[in-house]
Amino acid sequence: MTDPYRIERERMVKTQLKKRGIRNSRVLEAFKRVPRHHFIPKKLADQAYADGPLAIGESQTISQPYMVAIMTQSAEIVPGNRVLEIGSGSGYQCAILAELGAEVYTIERIPALCEQARKTLRRLNYQDIHSRAGNGTLGWEEEAPFDAILITAGAPEIPKPLLDQLAIGGRLVVPLEEDYSQVLYIVRRSKEGFHRERGERCTFVPLIGKHGWKKDPRA
């Protein structure tokens, strides 16, 4: 079947991802395959491959493609990894992780978005994605430990349950509040403990819940 967006997707990979330093060829190939236009409201389809986040309803967003890419590359996913995503949103990040061969667990706070993402992923035939609606700051204890955890919403600090659920050798990627804006952090767990690396500035909607913001700081 011809895909009217294939060329736009390739352009997105070249001009937004490669140009800004995304080098992992498996990550770049995954972005060429996932049809982002299926993860957004139909009326925005002509902006599907634009260089920014888009509204998906419920005051939430699908993240900028570059942000999804830098988080994915930083998580160093290899096939067979068990990966937990907090903030399913549209389901797009899940699809990218599935394309990399991960077994994906994803939690979304807003039930309507959880259901919508589930439907989209099912329609596109993504397997190995387990999703549930709930407070992701508590993690998914029954399925822990995870090789990678991606928190796709801005947190005041790293939720302790998520650190506990990271495997030894695992990577956790999280946007953290810093000086009234956000910075991406990559946390690695070794036998000795946790090592944090500071990444770039970013802007995400807030992580709300017991170990996140107590209420939406935008309200």
Please give the positions annotated as active site.
Answer: 63
d(CA 59, CA 205) in angstroms, rounded, equals 9
**What is the CB neighbour count within 10 angstroms for residue 38?**
18
Contacts of 167 (CB under 8 A, 6+ apart): 82, 145, 146, 147, 189
Binding ligand SAM (rule: CB under 6 A), the pick from 72, 93, 120, 131 is 93
Residue at 131: amino acid letter: S
Residue number of the CB atom closest to ligand SAM: 87
The candidate with the shortest Cα–Cα distance to 92, out of 50, 59, 47, 124, is 124
Q: How far is the CB of 191 from ligand SAM (least distance, A)?
A: 29
Contacts of 14 (CB under 8 A, 6+ apart): none
Q: What Cα–Cα distance (Å) separates residue 189 from each residue in 137, 138, 174, 182, 186?
A: 18, 18, 14, 22, 10
* Nearer to ligand SAM (CB atom), residue 38 or residue 82: 38
* Nearer to ligand SAM (CB atom), residue 150 or residue 187: 150
Binding ligand SAM (rule: CB under 6 A), the pick from 64, 81, 152, 182 is 152
92 binds ligand SAM (CB under 6 A): yes
Site string for ligand SAM, 120-149 (x = CB under 6 A): ---------------xxx------------
Binding residues for ligand SAM, per CB under 6 A? 60-63, 86-87, 89-90, 92-93, 107-110, 113, 135-137, 152-153, 204-205, 207-209, 212
